[in-house]
Structure 1
């Protein structure tokens, strides 16, 4: 009987070790549209999803965003009014997300900025709030891509985030209330599963397979001036999340990580 109890205890211990040893892939707030460099304007669809982009894994429940707007030629337009709730399906679950259609009028850069509501991560007993940007350009005319958008936590690009060839580098400055954040920690993930816009879900097929967990969520550091550089090895969308750089560190009595997120798109030369 003692041997059975010991064996059961050992089995349970092993299971718990395996559970806690599972990799905790990074959370990434997405503001997704299919193309970032367009020849002409028109209607585009945007999906606001809080998920794990490389694995297309667990998608987190989003509450009503605090702010969602677009900046074009330094003019700010509020997008919250017509933002609609949807259900987004990952490879493991379905959860609340949002969508918005927007008509691009004129040439230049359209910088979409999202401030989501803080998300409570029960496993960490803490909140996460990721201030997120994506830039869509029309006709190749640069206007706003390198400007500061007034987010409390923000990555300001040093390279056009929509004009990157595979193999280019992407550079940015991590800022908190307009001030550079020295040695900020930045997580990087590849959008490895195609978002199916008409189905509000991820495609099951992955573009690439990671040889080891460290390649799923890569980590880089900014320098003393808050600047970072990342070489882009593959076409597609890449997310950069500077962790805990915002001015607030508590929400409803618990720890809060205000992160700065930007998405960039690279293309192959043909």
Structure 2
């Protein structure tokens, strides 16, 4: 295997119309101390810019995987309006039942979103991994999605200043040369008010941060700051068309980095 590329060395500008669309499966912490219902916000947003919020349609799927067992959570979805800095848009809230120790891989398969400025549809299939009692069970296993990013480091145990690696898959196979857009959640949602908060960082001057996967679909990114980091493999999915128009079917993974104390 050739050496993977550090995304920090591959920062590049993208066209404005293509930048920073990110599907969020957001909760305050990925580490769960005690059994209970974990609140989550499903939001389609520009969190690095604290920018425009896009309307979500009814998700096609919302589920979790724990100890290899899939549980449908779609009956837990509640329509909401998320208040961004410049607009508000349709979003969803939900609760995730976390009882036993181990990993809980939470997946949102959203309805395709029509991006009028580009005349294309975007579908960002998003994963986030919760954990209770530090027992690893599912984080390093694919979920079987049309496209997904498989973590190669524990996604809830990342140290600021270290690196994170992932492998882009489509129908279970590596995607060589996949383009991965990297997003920092500079403004984390306030789930109690279902609104944005003040950002703690500004977007890069050079535009969206981009990494290119190697021939095995593997990429590596150096984590410079604590908080949530999102990775979106653009157009990595097998579907290319929706309702007669181009579809970008993307794989999204969120991780959380913490400072070493």
What TM-score comes out, normalization by structure 1 length? 0.89
Runs of 4+ with >6 A deviation: none
Query: Aligned equivalents of 1:244 and 1:25: distance in 2?
Result: 13
What do you get for the CA RMSD once the two structures are aligned? 1.3
Segments of structure 1 that go 5 or more residues without pairing to the other structure are: 1-20
Distance 1:116 1:181, change over 3 A: same
Distance 1:211 1:224, change over 3 A: closer
Aligned equivalent of 1:26: 20
Q: Paired residue for 1:63, among 57, 61, 77? A: 57
Segments of structure 2 that go 5 or more residues without pairing to the other structure are: 1-14
Query: Aligned equivalents of 1:194 and 1:65: distance in 2?
Result: 21
Query: Aligned equivalents of 1:170 and 1:219: distance in 2?
Result: 14
Could you say which structure has the greater relative contact order, defined with CA pairs below 8 angstroms and 6 or more residues apart? 2
Q: Paired residue for 1:174, among 154, 164, 168? A: 168
Query: Aligned equivalents of 2:204 and 2:21: distance in 1?
Result: 20
- Deviation of 1:269 (Å): 1.5
Aligned equivalent of 1:17: none
Aligned equivalent of 1:125: 119
- Alignment of structure 1 residues 1-270 onto 2, 5 Å: 25-203=19-197, 205-210=198-203, 212-214=205-207, 217-270=208-261
What TM-score comes out, normalization by structure 2 length? 0.92
Deviation string 1:58-80 (CA, Å, 9 cap, x unpaired) is 11100001001000000100010
Query: Aligned equivalents of 1:165 and 1:32: distance in 2?
Result: 19
Bigger Cα Rg? 1
Q: Which has the higher helix share?
A: 1
Q: How many residues align?
A: 247
